[in-house]
Structure 1
Amino acid sequence: MDLGTAIECVKAAFRAQAAGRTVMPAKITLDLGELGDWPHLGGSYNAMPAYVDMENLGTFAGVKWISGYEDNVRRGLPFLMSLIILNDPSTGFPLCIMDGTLITEYRTGAAAAIAAWELASKGLPRGLTASTADPSVPVSVPVKEQEGLNERECFAVTLIGAGAQGKSALRSMAALGILGDVSVVDIREDRARSLAEYVRNDLSCNATASGLDGVEAAVRRTDVIVTATTANEPLVHAEWTKPGSLVIALGSYLEVDERCVTESDAIVVDHEEQVTHRGTLVPYFKSGVLSRDRIRGEISRILAGETAGRRSPEERILAVLIGMAIEDIAVAGLVYHNALKLGVGTRYDLIS
């Protein structure tokens, strides 16, 4: 699975969502005290089941079980860890158990890049198409270098949160050719410097790094702001954003201030129901300053051309993408099919 394939796969899942070819309950959360409440174990879990019919790219059903423990960093463990189970949609037979951590990174970065493409670059040509003519070849979707794609505008990007998902967002934007100068901000400046060095060396973009004391200056000078953190207080303030800016909030916590929500010209989400109880918009729904009629639409319907995305160059847009199970199951399904074609993986008789 490469980034181009992951991006196209997530786009196909979005289109399936818009066409009504998905079944996806909202996330079920098991809270073990991620914000300090009883039982004070400092983590939480999400169960994320889904069915997705992507037509020529396949039909898949399954569930992702993902945990997040902030103290895992000092334990030498990843903050996020997950497993994905795929089932035969026709019989329920379990087909595969796989690690979901890397898939989570890939699909999160892909979703952010798609949002940037659709909302920060209105009217530019689309550049990814699936290539599945030979079923014996693993699915791979290279980023095209033709058809005028090198004429796309690159955007200055601030990334707040130098973790795996933030890095994936930058990599995915680079794969689409829209990543310009990058400002990396993190509560740990050493992590910001490390990621900035990666951006310079591996993505061939200018990059600077700072701690949280540099977040205001970074936001003020950039077009696209991506937040991928576990913050419990606002990191982005409305007065810092310039006309035409796009804020993409990927975290499950509070990342933008009230004015950033109430004064945005448009709010775009990945799933209208889900964002009412998870992610940066939750406290604003609870306080009553935000209602669902303020949401312009879901990114899937914008991608399908059913809802307007960016309506003018001056609009300030807030995109809240907290992640959907259809993205995970779609990408996992292609990984599973590619593994079968390549003859990799270990077979077990789970049910006899």
Structure 2
Amino acid sequence: MKTLLLNKEEVSRLISNREVIEAVENAYKAFNSGQVEQPEYLSIHMPAPRGEIDFKLGYYKVNETISMKASSGGFENNPASFGLPTGMGTIILFDARSCALICVMDGSLITGLRTGASGAVSVKALARKNASKITSIGTGNQARMQIRAINEVMKIDEIYAWSRTAEKLAKYKADIESEFGIPVIITETKKEAVEQADVLITTTRGVGAPVEAAWVKPGTHIVAIGTDQFGKQELEPEIFRNAKIVVDSLAQCAEKGETWHPLNHDIITRDDIHGEIGEILLGRKPGREHEDEVTIFDSTGMAIQDITTADRIYQNAIAQNVGTYFEFFS
């Protein structure tokens, strides 16, 4: 039995943004069709100044694949101390029929790609059809991933950006304008940026003052990405009071996502949550129903997204004869 090994560069060559978006749409539909077993994910928080490492495991019954991903983040000293990124990931795939290990691949790129694709899927389902202005609160790698994916499903005329770090803002502006030719307007305050948004993307690490409800204009679609652990927060809970709330996983978002905060403050109840995005994609529940509706997509990330994306990469690698094989068992 041979196992395929794929490094980050190989993974990057084996899948397009459009394929990732399709894989994530399939993941959400599968999750709400009884085709997935997905235990609660585990996290280990390391002593400061280190960050955290998460473990996500899932079984996709349709293609008989099991995946396990280890994903770290917040290790800010890594570049200087070890010459490594601040976050890394590894995905391992098993054939569920035998539980044989079939592939080991870099998971850091996949995490970024499928998280970016989740925002794009939510924009297709929930943003206004004439939306043209994006606001990015946070300007790191995931902010770029969101733009790359959303650019596949929406015509972006302008991007408003805010970050606490002027150097990161300047680099984000230069990178995005060079890659896409879309003008990036840097704002003095977070409030100024949010007030411009047709689509508001929050990709911080869930620290700092949250986006305030008074800043959000009617008709805004919010892609809430940065809160995936208890204790993180990007949005004032009051934003949820009159919004249409859509989550990737109700179980996860109610316990670890942005949705936990309005639940905890008794601003909403679980009955006020419109549904999971897979239900909308399957046509079981409506998406946006009027132009002035504020919609929120709370994404904590799910193992099934990793499975469908990683499986597509694995199949493409076999078809294109990419990667290196090794054997545990002869």
Instruction: Verify same fold: TM over 0.5.
Output: yes
Q: 1:21 to 1:233 in 2, by over 3 A?
A: same
Which has the higher mean CA deviation after the structures are superposed, 196-205 or 299-308?
Answer: 196-205
1:158 CA displacement: 0.3
User: Quick one: distance in 2 between partners of 1:202 and 1:215?
Assistant: 24
Task: Find 1:308's aligned residue among 266, 269, 286.
Answer: 286
Q: 1:74 to 1:282 in 2, by over 3 A?
A: farther
1:74 CA displacement: 5.7
User: Quick one: distance in 1 between partners of 2:84 and 2:254?
Assistant: 30
Mind listing any 5+ residue stretches in structure 1 that lack a counterpart?
Answer: 33-38, 123-152
User: Quick one: distance in 2 between partners of 1:4 and 1:111?
Assistant: 12
Deviations 1:11-30 (A, max 9, x none): 11111112211111222122
Q: Are 1:163 and 2:140 counterparts?
A: yes
User: Quick one: distance in 1 between partners of 2:78 and 2:221?
Assistant: 30
Q: Are 1:118 and 2:125 counterparts?
A: yes
Write the letter of the residue equivalent to 1:107. Answer: R
Deviations 1:239-295 (A, max 9, x none): 00101111111012200012112x232111000000122232334433443421121
| Number of the residue aligned with 1:104 | 111
Deviations 1:33-70 (A, max 9, x none): xxxxxx445321211001224x5xx4421111111124
Q: Are 1:264 and 2:237 counterparts?
A: no
Write the letter of the residue equivalent to 1:15. Answer: K
Q: Are 1:198 and 2:205 counterparts?
A: no
Identity fraction in percent: 29
TM-score, normalised to structure 1, is 0.83
3-state SS in 2 of match to 1:42? coil
Task: Find 1:294's aligned residue among 269, 272, 284.
Answer: 272
3-state SS in 2 of match to 1:255? coil
User: Quick one: distance in 2 between partners of 1:208 and 1:350?
Assistant: 53
After TM superposition, the runs of 4+ consecutive aligned structure 1 residues lying more than 6 A away are: none
Q: Are 1:226 and 2:240 counterparts?
A: no
3-state SS in 2 of match to 1:98? strand
Q: 1:19 to 1:300 in 2, by over 3 A?
A: same
Structure possessing the higher relative contact order (Cα contacts under 8 Å, 6 or more residues apart): 2
1:297 CA displacement: 0.5
User: Quick one: distance in 1 between partners of 2:280 and 2:147?
Assistant: 22
User: Quick one: distance in 2 between partners of 1:288 and 1:189?
Assistant: 37
User: Quick one: distance in 2 between partners of 1:72 and 1:346?
Assistant: 31
- 2:120/2:149 contact within 8 Å kept: yes
- 1:216/1:240 contact within 8 Å kept: yes
1:115 CA displacement: 0.5
User: Quick one: distance in 2 between partners of 1:272 and 1:9?
Assistant: 20
User: Quick one: distance in 2 between partners of 1:162 and 1:117?
Assistant: 22
- 2:128/2:291 contact within 8 Å kept: no
Deviations 1:85-115 (A, max 9, x none): 1000111101111110000111011000110
Task: Find 1:69's aligned residue among 70, 74, 90.
Answer: 74
Mind listing any 5+ residue stretches in structure 2 that lack a counterpart?
Answer: 1-14
- 2:21/2:118 contact within 8 Å kept: yes
User: Quick one: distance in 2 between partners of 1:273 and 1:351?
Assistant: 39
Count how many residue pairs are aligned between Structure 1 and Structure 2.
Answer: 310
User: Quick one: distance in 1 between partners of 2:132 and 2:113?
Assistant: 21
- 1:154/1:180 contact within 8 Å kept: no
Which has the higher mean CA deviation after the structures are superposed, 189-198 or 217-226?
Answer: 189-198
Task: Find 1:79's aligned residue among 64, 83, 86.
Answer: 86
Q: 1:264 to 1:247 in 2, by over 3 A?
A: farther
User: Quick one: distance in 1 between partners of 2:278 and 2:329?
Assistant: 37
Task: Find 2:98's aligned residue among 91, 98, 104.
Answer: 91
Q: CA RMSD in A?
A: 1.9
| Number of the residue aligned with 1:174 | 151
1:154 CA displacement: 4.5
| Number of the residue aligned with 1:16 | 30
User: Quick one: distance in 1 between partners of 2:86 and 2:262?
Assistant: 26
- 1:264/1:317 contact within 8 Å kept: no
- 2:160/2:196 contact within 8 Å kept: no
